[in-house]
Amino acid sequence: MYKVRDIMNQIERLAPRELAEKWDNVGLMVGDSDQNVSTVFICLDVTAENVAAAIEYKANMIISHHPLIFTPLKRVVEDDITGSIIRTVITNGLSVYSAHTNLDHADGGMNDVLAEKLGLEGVRRFTAEECCDNFGNPIDNIGRIGVLESSVELGDFVHFIKETLDCRSIRYVGEPNETIRTVALCTGAGGDGIYSAYHAGADVYITADIRHHEAQLAYELGLNLIDAGHFETENTICEFMADYLTAAMPGLNVISSEAQPYFR
């Protein structure tokens, strides 16, 4: 039987913790690295719904993308949402492990998974020269850029993404009949990467959680922009991590969350 530390080590072979951003919190959130594990439950968010599902499946360990504990906690009490979830996790003997920006950065991680899912070829990271704002200040280098097999109209590509990622809602900036082929992307909230996509020569940039002024910036730069949703661009962790652990750890029972996007 596997232990929590065995599963942690396997994930960190793909996504070492040192790849995480300094502001992030990754690793074992709650639990015991010596705990025996026969069943793991994979999810994007450690919600009350997902914890209940993990308990129903008799899981010993939850693996999430978004950290259960992100900001410092001053108390763990039942009338606080995070506190209530932590109490439920502990009383049901669950360990919780989160791989966040380290999995975003990693080769073969979240961004590469999304690029593959959307059919991009020749996928690469942005170069250091591309990762800067309009004043030359460096910005995070998390996303990817690649090309489609053949050119398509933006409107058709928006519909393709909506169907492929099962988006309940989708927003975009640009003219539907504009032809695109070079595609940049960043899973989750990637508004900071607009300049990287622009400097890299992308025809369109796919990310999530775009704010008004970020959309305005893309418009002024002449960069098409698709906000495909935070949940939708990152919930790929469920299928991807299930396949990864199943192949690497024979006999481990792996269950994926069936939670749905919050926005409709």
**Interacting residues of 75 by C-beta distance below 8 A, sequence separation 6+:** 83
CATH class of 107-228: alpha beta
Q: What is the pLDDT of residue 262?
A: 87
Interatomic CA distance for residues 53 and 94, integer angstroms: 12
Letter for the amino acid at 26?
A: V
Instruction: List where CATH 3.40.1390.30 sits in the chain.
Output: 2-103+234-256, 107-228
Residues of the chain falling short of pLDDT 50: none
Query: 211 and 146 in contact (C-beta within 8 Å)?
Result: no
Length of the chain: 264
Q: Contact 204/187 with Cβ under 8 angstroms?
A: no
Q: Give the span between the Cα atoms of 170 and 178, in whole angstroms.
A: 18
Look at residue 140 in the predicted model and tell me its pLDDT. Answer: 82
Query: Are the CB atoms for 47 and 66 separated by under 8 Å?
Result: no
* Burial class, 87, CB count within 10 angstroms (exposed 0-12 / middle 13-18 / buried 19+): middle
Residue 168: alpha-carbon gap to chain centroid:
17
- What DSSP state is assigned to residue 107? T
pLDDT the model gives residue 207: 98
pLDDT at 233 (0 to 100): 98
- For position 141, what pLDDT does the model report? 86
Q: Which residues sit opposite 159 in a β-bridge?
A: none
Q: Residue 139: what pLDDT?
A: 87
Contact predicate 8/28, CB 8 Å: yes
The domain 2-103+234-256 belongs to what CATH superfamily?
Answer: NIF3 (NGG1p interacting factor 3)-like (3.40.1390.30)
Strands 204-208, 224-227: pairing is parallel
pLDDT more than 90, % of the chain = 94
pTM of the full structure: 0.96
Q: How far is residue 145's CA from residue 240's CA, in Å, rounded to a whole number?
A: 20
